[in-house]
Amino acid sequence: MRSVAGALTVAVLAGGRSSEHDVSLSSGAAIREGLIAGGHGVVSIEIERDGTWRSAGELVSARPGAGLLGADVAFPALHGPFGEDGSVQGLLETLDVPYVGAGVAASALCMDKVLFKRLMSAVALPQVAYVGAREPRWRAAREQTLAEVRALGLPVFVKPAHLGSSVGIVKVSEPSAVVQALERAFAHDELAIVEASGPGIEVECGVLGLPRGDAMASEPGEISFPGEFYDYEAKYTPGGMDLTVPARISPAARSRVMELAVETFVQTGCEGLARVDFFVDRDRVLVNELNTMPGFTPTSVYAKLMSASGIPYPELLDRLCRLAIERHEQRRRRRH
């Protein structure tokens, strides 16, 4: 492996089997351009929709412990299941390749929105009320599930528990629409989450670093959009949302957002990077969710927040790759 101080060869993984395949390709393209602008070499790996890995049109073969196409570090620019959920992270661990972002356990935890919220409850971090609904229980005890959902009030948001980018989300404002919304969620996932409506405005905060005390929070950014909620089109259509940095919130709320962003990052065991999403109502701040691999498309928020915090895009990518190598070397020094 090359010296951490020199230029790196980075394997950028993009595509994948999830419904966020195209978003991942856009993220991967932007990451490749940023790495090259920063003086690094890039090996592109596209994961096709059927899970096939190709580089320069050729099939990629992997042997445990043998690395990945000679790269110093991997950047898995993958979103959703089969990429952001710990599966690819586990493969990269087996190959003995440093990789950007959260490890296996943290990736799996944060991909599961219900499990994530249970952890937030266990460590007493503030969040909106929610109900987790598994399809087998829904089929066997529908009225019980509906009673739990009714206790949240209206409106509520019904989501597949393991998808990102607002795929499959439905805003429900009428009691009669709950059943249809849950059925839609179950078409994507056996586990659904129903969340009470968050008060106030949506604010996002990036985190960069390792969770041993040097993780930093970005300047918080305020999200505004024309529709009823921050859906897929608003996230990925140019002009579909507006990001205001710094967020138009009180100094107390700003400090609380940044504090909670790092605390959520640490409690979940994340590493490298994350974007933590909040609802802010005056000085009241609620954690919504954490994304372990935020989008890196031209319209994505994470890089914009870091740029507004004094870290330009090529430098951000460089730091993420070097953090990955640092973590890898630290773990190698431990006995297993």
Alpha helices by DSSP H, the chain: 21-37, 87-95, 104-111, 113-122, 135-140, 142-150, 178-186, 232-236, 251-267, 301-308, 313-332
Q: Quick check: 168 and 212 in contact, CB under 8 A?
A: no
Please tell me the distance from the alpha carbon of residue 209 to that of residue 198, in angstroms, as a whole number. 28
Beta bridge partners of 92: none
Residue-wise over 282-297: b if at least 16 C-beta within 10 A, else e? eeebbbbbbbbbbbbb
Return the structure tokens found at 142.
């529908």
Burial class (CB in 10 A: 0-12, 13-18, 19+), 70: exposed
The residues assigned a catalytic role are: 20, 165, 236, 275, 277, 289, 291, 295
Can you read off the two tokens belonging to residue 84?
A: 């952001």
Q: What DSSP letter does each residue of 112-147 carry, written as one string?
A: SHHHHHHHHHHTT--B--EEEEEHHHHHH-HHHHHH
- In angstroms, rounded to a whole number, what is the distance separating the alpha carbons of residues 22 and 63? 28
Residues paired with 238 in a beta bridge: none
